[in-house]
Structure 1
């Protein structure tokens, strides 16, 4: 990303964007303890049609059965747990807010969450806005049965043509990066699916991971993991650094009032600050404890590693992520923009 793109934008007073975790993480040298934030993960079961549950099983994990190769991460119960845990990291980072755009609550009628995963964001948004219809879409039907009456889930691929029409007041995406091959198309379709004056908001990490203080050198297992994953995603046609072009794509699609801010999700409770420690402990568990499921397909099918090479390497990368002397993090980019009236 260019330096200009990494500068946090100026946001209007009293918006949630003023209260997210800042971009700077300071190492806490006073303790190496592993603080925790609690275990708030609940497994869920799907309420969608069985016709889309023709799953594939590889490397001991379950994957979606829609259009092979579109998405490289699992969709089984372990992944459901991981995604719900990850939602808590975002919850801490945003101080309990579900979005940062200055949307007008009184004008909200329909909201779309693209790539909704377990549906937890949709459910919480629907609970908070009972008069708003919330639609969540995802490749996999892993959402729960019991949802608010104003919340609905459908199986859909964000890469395909959208057929919603100009109906939504707010469109949200989070960690959709690994499932999208053409962000320009997605943003244009989002623009066409928003009513005039509606907002889009995109919350994304990017890979490779980073380290600011040199505690993880370029030859460390953690940094090798990040770089290898980036290369593997490229083989699948996915750019895990695509956020560098989000402002450009949003403008090309027709959006105005484009804003952005940036933060970091630490891999471990190594930073100073209670909030940062809580985020780091959860995110360490989210990524480190699920490294095999997150990595095996990308490294084997994307880069051609043998199963033996993967099984030998991943414990080394996990050890780095759990080493309190190594201070790595995922860069996080948040964009929000408005369709002109």
Structure 2
């Protein structure tokens, strides 16, 4: 549990660096009530609460892994966002990070977000798609390319979409959001880029990928494709090597989409 918490904390840092030190891109100003769905360790919710002392911030997640430290205007609840949303009030800002791939019904999520916003409120989804991409052809014929294909197929067999975040803009449009904006940003996976900032970001993302790749790969390959654990472990040996290979110019795609519920 502690190792996973540390990995999620690192992911939070990667998101912030990629977004220029910001916690969100939606033009949110002095929101009264804020909810962070799929809050994980709760670090985003706590930092937002610290930066916005006038806001009442709620973080929800299925797993109670939040830190004992929190801001006085921040609290946490165990909740499943795929169930019906039952709250005593609506929100001015809804934030969700790294949840799209885990959702079985993203359109239902978008509808729930819209229904639980106050008029004029904003919802924002931030995701990093864990699919190795390159701007050149250095990924061709690699274990990373094979990993992409296998994971996409296996996740699909399990009823989810590994690339779901690429449809978030359309899903929000279909739900009825207005003033929708989408940003797509490359996150390097090791130290191959030029420039100290991008190299450091790549090293952090490489560490996050190395720490986090085993469990989901074994789960998807075994449950989604029928592999044995031993087969998956052997396959991961080359995947880990190539994640660290600076001659493979791999990156993940970060997708941030936000939209507004129109004022009355």
- Fold in common (TM above 0.5): yes
Q: Who is 1:278 aligned against?
A: 200
SS at match of 1:335: strand
Out of 199, 216, 221, the residue aligned to residue 294 of structure 1 is 216
Q: 2:254 is matched with which residue: 332, 335, 339? A: 332
Query: Greater share of helix residues, 1 or 2?
Result: 2
Per the TM alignment, residue 189 of structure 1 is displaced from its structure 2 partner at its CA by 0.4
Spell out the pairing of 1:64-103 with structure 2 (5 A cutoff): 76-103=1-28
* Paired residues for 1:23-102 under 5 Å: 76-102=1-27
Unpaired runs of 5+ residues, structure 1, are 1-75
- Root mean square deviation of aligned Cα: 1.3
What SS is found at the alignment partner of 1:95?
coil
- 1:228 equivalent in structure 2: 150
Aligned residues: 263
Is the 8 Å Cα contact of residues 182 and 256 (structure 2) preserved in structure 1? Answer: yes
Stretches of structure 2 that go unaligned for 5 or more consecutive residues are none
Q: 1:194: how far off?
A: 0.5
Give the one of 232, 241, 261 matched to 1:319: 241
Matched, 1:133 2:56: yes
Which residue does 1:109 correspond to in 2? 32
- Could you tell me which residue of structure 2 aligns to residue 44 of structure 1? none
Pick aligned residue for 1:168 from 88, 91, 104: 91
Mapped to 2, the partners of 1:178 and 1:260 lie a distance apart of: 17
Query: Shift in Å at residue 178 of structure 1?
Result: 2.7
Tell me, in whole angstroms, the C-alpha distance in 2 between the residues paired with 1:124 and 1:155: 19
Structure with the larger strand share: 2
Shift of 1:166: 5.1
1:46 is aligned to none
189-198 or 123-132: bigger deviation: 123-132
Q: Does 1:144 align with 2:79?
A: no
CA shift, 1:96, in A, is 1.3
- Shift in Å, 1:226: 2.0
- Corresponding residue number in structure 1 for 2:137: 214
Tell me the residue number matched to 2:185. Answer: 263
Between the aligned partners of 1:82 and 1:191, the Cα distance in structure 2 is 31
Normalising by structure 2, what TM-score? 0.96
Q: Deviations over 1:211-263 (max 9, x none)?
A: 1211111x311111122111121122111112232222111211100111110
Deviations 1:66-118 (A, max 9, x none): xxxxxxxxxx222111111111111111121100111122xx11101111111
- Summarize deviations over 1:19-50 as a string: whole Å, max 9, x none: xxxxxxxxxxxxxxxxxxxxxxxxxxxxxxxx
Tell whether the 8 Å contact from 2:61 to 2:77 is kept in structure 1 after alignment: yes
Q: What is aligned with 1:238?
A: 160
Give the TM-score normalised by structure 1.
0.75
Confirm whether residue 202 of structure 1 aligns to residue 125 of structure 2.
yes
CA offset at residue 137 of structure 1? 0.9
